Amino acid sequence: MENYDYLKITLASPTQILKWSHKFLSNGNSIGEVLTTDTIDFKTFKIQNGGLFCQRIFGPVKSYKCACGKYKSFRNQKIICEQCGVEIINSQVRRYRMGYIKLRFPIFHFWYLKSKPNILGLLLEVEGLEKRLKTNIRGLNSAQKAIVFSQFWDKRIKNIKISSIIYAFSEDQIYVYGLHWQLEQYRKSRKKGYSNYSIVGAKRNKELEKKAKKINPILYEGPPISLTGSSLIYKELKALNINTEIFKTRCFILVCSKVLEKEKPFYFQHEWSEDWEYQRITKIKEEAIQRIRILENFKNTGSHPSWLALTILPVLAPDLRPILFLDNGVIIGSDLNEVYKLIIMRNNRVDDMIQLGMPGVFLKNERRAVQEAVDTLIDNKKRSIPYYGMHDSPLTSISDSLRGKTGRLRQNLLGKRVNFSGRSVIVVEPKLKLNQCGLPYEMALELFKPFIIYEFNKKNGTLFSQIKKLEIDFTLKKKDSVKIEEKKPKSKRIFFKTNLFQINKSEILPILLKILANHPIFLNRAPTLHKLGIQSFEPILVEGRAIKLHPSVCSAYNADFDGDQMGIHIPLTLEAQAESYNTMFAPYNLLSSATGEPTMTPTQDMILGCSYLTISNIKNLNGSNHYFSELEDVLKAYSQNRLELHSNIWVRYKEKKLNSLNILKVIKLKDNSYIEYYTNLQIRKNFAGKIIVQYLKTTTGKVILNYTIYKILNLL
C-alpha cells in the first residue's frame, strides 16, 4: 500500500473526464458515452444497451457472465462477448466505472455559477470590477456628468449577472441587459463612459443610447448562436491567459493603493476628493485582490478557468445509483437516474433542433433547460426553484448525497463501523469511580467474544493446539503399544459462530470478569471536537442495556443524560492498552489542555446533594443527643433507620483541642475528673487537666460526607 502525504482536489479537465469514462476495447470498439435514457425493460427486466445501466459501458451485472449468457466462467476473464459486446469481468467494476454525456453546448457548474463572490464575474471583470479609476468630474457639463454618474451608480451596468447571460430568460431581457455582446466590445464601450442602460426604475435615456450605437454598432446586432449564452462566457474563459491576467491585476492593485494614498503622479491622473469616491476605489481594489487569489489558485493547481464549464458530463457508476426490485413487485430507484434521463433527453433535443435549423429563440430556451437539468444534478436544493419528483419532494442531487451528517463523506467514509465496537445510551451512576464505567453484560459478551472463546476453550482443554498435542501424544503411545485411556475434553468446544447467550452464565461470567480485570475500554461521544471527547475507563459489568457513567466525567464530553449515546471501542494491542492507561485514562484528564481549568467539577445535583446533606440541625428528631465513638457506628445506625439524616449526634473527636472556644459550664465528677461544655463540643479531663475524651456535636449527614472524604484520602 502506497503512502501519501496529502490529498489535493482540483478541477477535472474534459480530457481527464474522458480518461475516466471512455475506453477502447480489445476488439477495436469504444465505449463510455451514454446515448439513450433507457434503463431496463420492465417487461423482461433486462438492461437496455446504450442506456444508463448498459453492461457494455459499465460492466456485467453478474461477475464473469455476459448479457446473453454465452460466457459464464472465470476462465473467460477479459474476453469480450461477440454477441452482446459485454466484457467478461468482475461485477465490482459497476461501482467505479463511469460513463459520460457529450453536451452540445458548454454548461457551467452550479457551484461556481452561484458562488459568493462570483468566480466567473471576477474572472471576466464584469461584476463590480471596473478598470476606470478616474473620478474627477470638475469641468464637465451636465450631460457629461449624467453619463459619468450613470456609470458609477447604475446597478444594471455595474453588476451584469453572469447567470442572466447563461440562462437568458427572454429576448427582451437579452436586448435590455446586452447579454449577447462580446465582452471585449463591452469593455471598450465602458471605458468611453457610454451606457444604454437606465437607472433601475427610471426611463431609458434615448440620447445616450444613440451615442452608444454610433460608438459601437455591434452592441445592437443580433449575434450568432456561438456568441450567446454560455458559449460566449466559455469563449472568454478559454481566451484568458492566467500569467498575463495575474500580472495585470497586480499592477492594477498597485495603482489603486497609490491612488488611495494620494501618491504622485497617480493621484493627479485619478484624483478623488469625496468619501464615496474613496469607498468606490477601495471596493474595486478588494475585488481585484479576490480576483488575483482565484487566478493564483488556478495557476498553482494547474487548472484553467474554462474547466468551470462542462462540455463532457460524467455519469456516475450504476451501483451508486441503483434500481431495486422489492418483494411486493414495487420498483424503486435513485433520483439521480431521473435527472440523468432529463439531461440526456434535453441534450438530444438540442442536437435535433440544430440539425433541423430551428429558430434561435427555441434553441435558447432548450439550452437553458439543459443548464437547469445539470444544476438539478449537481445541487438541486440550492436552486431558486428545485426540481420535484413524483412524490412532490425535491430530487436528491449529488451534493445532497455528499453533504451533512448522513452524507457519503461523514456517514460512509469517515464514519465506518469498526470491529470490537458498540453503542448505547448513557445513564448516571454516582457510585462508580472516576476511572470506571458500567458496561452492560450483553454488550460485553459481543465485544469480548473472541477473548471469551479463547479463554473458554483454553480452560476446558479444547484449544486447537491442545487437541493437536493430545493427538500427537496418542500417536506416540500407540506406537509403543501402550494402552491409554481416551482423554475427553471437559466441555464442548465453542466457535465464533456459537451463540454465547445459550451457554450457562455461570461458565461465562468468571471468564468475562477475568478478561475485564485488565482490559480498558474507550468511550467516545460524537462529535469528538477535542481530545477529551474520547477517554479510557475500567469496565464494570452491570445489568441492563445502558452504559453507566459517573456524572463528573460528562462535562469533558459535553454530555448529559437526556438520551445521549456513546460508542465503545476496545484497544487490542498491548501498545494501545498502555496508551489508554498512561495518557487517556479519565482521572488523568482533570484539567483542560486548552484553558487549564478543571474539567471535572461538581455541578447541579452534586452541589445540591452536599448542601442538603450538611444542612443545620433540626430539633426533636429521632436519635438526638446520641453518642458514638466511631464514624462507622453512625453509618450502621443510619442504615438501620435509628437515625435521621439531620439528627443531632455526638461523635468522638480524636484531634487536639480547638482554640478560641467559649466555655459554657464545667461539671465535676466523683472521680475528680470534670467535663467542659462548649457550644458544639464536650471535653472530659482528669484532675491534672489532661484530655481523656472529647465529643463533637454534628449531624448524620455531615458524618457521611466526612467519612467519604476520609476514606478516599486514606485518613481513617
**Choice between 42 and 333, residue whose per-residue pLDDT is larger:** 333
**Who's near 54: CB < 8 A, 6+ residues apart?**
34, 47, 48, 99
H-helix or E-strand spanning residue 300: helix 275-301
Segment 552-567 shows an average pLDDT of 90
> So what's the pLDDT on residue 195?
34
When mean pLDDT is compared across 52-66, 413-427, 603-617, the lowest value belongs to: 603-617
**Who's near 428: CB < 8 A, 6+ residues apart?**
548, 549, 550, 551, 561
Beta bridge partners of 649: 626, 698
Segment 570-586 shows an average pLDDT of 93
Instruction: Round the average pLDDT of the chain to a whole number and report it.
Output: 79
Q: Are 647 and 625 in contact (CB under 8 A)?
A: no
Strand 421-428 to 547-549 pairing: parallel
Task: State which CATH number among 3.90.78.10, 2.40.40.20, 3.40.50.720, 3.30.70.260 fits the domain covering 421-588.
Answer: 2.40.40.20
Q: Which candidate, 105, 100, 120, 109, places its Cα nearest to that of 16?
A: 100
**Which residue in the block uniquely carries the three cell numbers 501402550?**
482
Q: How confident is the model at residue 330 (pLDDT cuts 50, 70, 90)?
A: confident
Alpha-helical segments (H) within 322-448: 335-356, 360-379, 398-402, 441-447
Round to whole Å and give the CA distance between 697 and 569: 50
Per-state percent for the chain, helix, strand, coil, to nearest 5: 45, 15, 40
When mean pLDDT is compared across 71-75, 256-260, 420-424, 581-585, the lowest value belongs to: 256-260
**Who's near 712: CB < 8 A, 6+ residues apart?**
none
Tell whether the model's pLDDT for residue 485 goes beyond 80: no
Q: How confident is the model at residue 215 (pLDDT cuts 50, 70, 90)?
A: very low
Round to whole Å and give the CA distance between 338 and 341: 5
Q: Are 440 and 549 in contact (CB under 8 A)?
A: no
Q: Which candidate, 177, 135, 176, 136, places its Cα nearest to that of 152?
A: 135
For 297, which DSSP code?
H
**How many Cβ atoms from other residues are within 10 Å of residue 137's Cβ?**
14
**How many Cβ atoms from other residues are within 10 Å of residue 591's Cβ?**
13
**Choice between 112 and 569, residue whose per-residue pLDDT is larger:** 569
Round to whole Å and give the CA distance between 537 and 587: 9
> So what's the pLDDT on residue 376?
92
Q: Which candidate, 390, 377, 406, 392, places its Cα nearest to that of 333?
A: 390
Beta bridge partners of 548: 427, 438
Beta strands in 460-549 (DSSP E): 521-524, 534-542, 547-549
DSSP string, 58-119: H--SSTT--SSSS--SGGGTTPBPTTT--B---GGGGGT--EEEEEEEEEE-HHHHS-SS-H
> So what's the pLDDT on residue 262?
79
When mean pLDDT is compared across 178-187, 232-241, 427-436, 462-471, the lowest value belongs to: 178-187
> So what's the pLDDT on residue 208?
45
Which three three-digit cell numbers place residue 542?
452491570
Tell whether the model's pLDDT for residue 14 goes beyond 70: yes
Segment 168-180 shows an average pLDDT of 40
When mean pLDDT is compared across 159-163, 169-173, 606-610, the lowest value belongs to: 169-173
Residue 440 three-state SS: strand
Round to whole Å and give the CA distance between 189 and 220: 13
Residue 473 three-state SS: helix
Q: How confident is the model at residue 169 (pLDDT cuts 50, 70, 90)?
A: very low
> So what's the pLDDT on residue 573?
92
For 242, which DSSP code?
H
> So what's the pLDDT on residue 657?
61
pLDDT tens per residue across span 635-683: 999 999 888 888 888 999 877 666 657 788 888 888 888 888 888 888 8
When mean pLDDT is compared across 43-47, 183-187, 282-286, 444-448, the lowest value belongs to: 183-187
398-to-336, 361, 390, 402, 711 alpha-carbon distances in Å = 8, 31, 18, 6, 61
Round to whole Å and give the CA distance between 59 and 84: 12
Q: Which candidate, 203, 201, 166, 165, places its Cα nearest to that of 186?
A: 165
Segment 532-545 shows an average pLDDT of 94
Q: How confident is the model at residue 523 (pLDDT cuts 50, 70, 90)?
A: very high
Segment 26-53 shows an average pLDDT of 88
First to last CA, the chain: 60
Tell whether the model's pLDDT for residue 320 goes beyond 80: yes
**Widest CA span of the chain, in angstroms?**
132
**Who's near 567: CB < 8 A, 6+ residues apart?**
421, 422, 423, 523, 524, 525, 526
Q: Are 150 and 157 in contact (CB under 8 A)?
A: yes
Alpha-helical segments (H) within 125-194: 142-153, 155-158, 162-167, 171-177, 183-191
Residue 117: asked if its preceding bond is cis (omega within 30°), the reply is yes
Beta strands in 273-325 (DSSP E): 309-315, 323-325
**Choice between 161 and 354, residue whose per-residue pLDDT is larger:** 354
Q: Are 519 and 437 in contact (CB under 8 A)?
A: no
**Which of 377-381, 408-412, 490-494 has the highest average model confidence (pLDDT)?**
377-381
pLDDT tens per residue across span 226-257: 555 678 788 888 888 899 889 888 888 888 88
pLDDT tens per residue across span 385-406: 888 887 788 899 999 999 888 8
Q: Are 377 and 394 in contact (CB under 8 A)?
A: no
Q: What is the Rg, in whole angstroms, of the alpha carbon atoms belonging to the chain?
A: 41
Tell whether the model's pLDDT for residue 416 goes beyond 60: yes
Could you give phi then psi for residue 626, rounded to 5 degrees? -85, 155
For 394, which DSSP code?
B
> So what's the pLDDT on residue 492?
67
> So what's the pLDDT on residue 112?
85
Q: How confident is the model at residue 501 (pLDDT cuts 50, 70, 90)?
A: confident
Beta bridge partners of 685: 674, 691
Q: What percent of the chain has pLDDT over 70?
A: 77
Round to whole Å and give the CA distance between 108 and 232: 12
**Choice between 437 and 171, residue whose per-residue pLDDT is larger:** 437
pLDDT tens per residue across span 421-437: 999 999 999 889 999 99
Q: Are 12 and 77 in contact (CB under 8 A)?
A: no
Q: Are 534 and 584 in contact (CB under 8 A)?
A: yes
H-helix or E-strand spanning residue 234: helix 229-239
H-helix or E-strand spanning residue 710: helix 700-712
As a three-state string, the secondary structure of 612-667 is HHCCCCCCCCCCCCEEECCHHHHHHHHHCCCCCCCCEEEEECCCCCCCCCCCCEEE
